[in-house]
Amino acid sequence: MRIAVLLLLLLLSSPAAPAEYAEINGVRIYYEIHGQGRPTVLLHGGADSIAGSLSQQMAAFAKTRRVIALEQRGHGHTADSPGLLSYAQMTEDTAALLRKLGVENADVVGWSDGGIIALMLAIRHPSLVRRVVASGANVNPQGLTPQAREWAETKLETWTGPNSEYHAKVSPDGPAQWPILVKKLKRLWLETPTPGELSFDQLKKVQQPSLIVSGDRDTVTHEHTVAMFHALPAGQLFILPDTGHNTFRLRPDWMNTVIVSFLDAEIKPPPR
């Protein structure tokens, strides 16, 4: 309870960032750019926002990098759109925004849904991606733990807390959009990614160095995470001890140090 209250205070008291919007595939996508240097794209998790998922990475990375963070349709400052949410659509939105900003060969760092999008971006738009960091990502719904699936099936649609409070404050659609969003997310999480969106065979095509991250108490099973690591030709694996799904928020010091080291390292191509 105390952690939730502190997080809510952090979200509600965060200084206003400069509002930037771009018309992307029929939606005004909200984004922020901080710092200078190599482009580094930050992708938030589902039902979350830049502030909620990645606030402790933004400032740290912007010291030496040009950090670009966006909020997907229906999330944060970006309005919802009719129809279902899909990883394919969010990937294409992300790619279109990067092209509009003239960004290519970027390092892409994503958490949860953002990690899935980061991997799909590397597969579908390889020229945009130099390296990938994906934490708490899964290739298909079967990768979720039984506990995570049960929670999504029985409790997600009545879920409220810091995320819904912040959403109500900043969403162009207002508080009434939160129940619509979580209903869309229930389908997204329990039924997708589909094999056409992401698969282990598709991961085998990712030539970019890719760091797969998981908490040892994550909502994605250890077996699934390790299988993702093995499928990637230039994959690396980082498991955080005594850590749940929210790796970026729970372990910012560890995450920031390891991610920057991975992104800056000279990585040799994998053996053929």
One pLDDT digit (tens) per residue for the chain, 272 residues: 433 433 443 443 344 445 699 999 999 999 999 999 999 999 999 999 999 999 999 999 999 999 999 999 999 999 999 999 999 999 999 999 999 999 999 999 999 999 999 999 999 999 999 999 999 999 999 999 999 999 999 999 999 999 999 999 999 999 999 999 999 999 999 999 999 999 999 999 999 999 999 999 999 999 999 999 999 999 999 999 999 999 999 999 999 999 999 999 986 655 54
pTM of the model: 0.92
Cis ω for the linkage preceding 193 (within 30 of 0): yes
What pLDDT sits at residue 7? Answer: 43
DSSP-derived letter for residue 199 is -
Task: Output the CATH code of domain 21-264.
Answer: 3.40.50.1820
What pLDDT sits at residue 64? Answer: 96
C-alpha to C-alpha distance for 98 and 187, rounded to whole angstroms = 27
What pLDDT sits at residue 13? Answer: 38
Amino acid identity of 205?
A: K
Sequence spans of domains, the chain: 21-264
C-alpha distances out from residue 99 to 125, 200, 235, Å: 10, 27, 26
What pLDDT sits at residue 209? Answer: 98
What pLDDT sits at residue 266? Answer: 85
What pLDDT sits at residue 270? Answer: 54
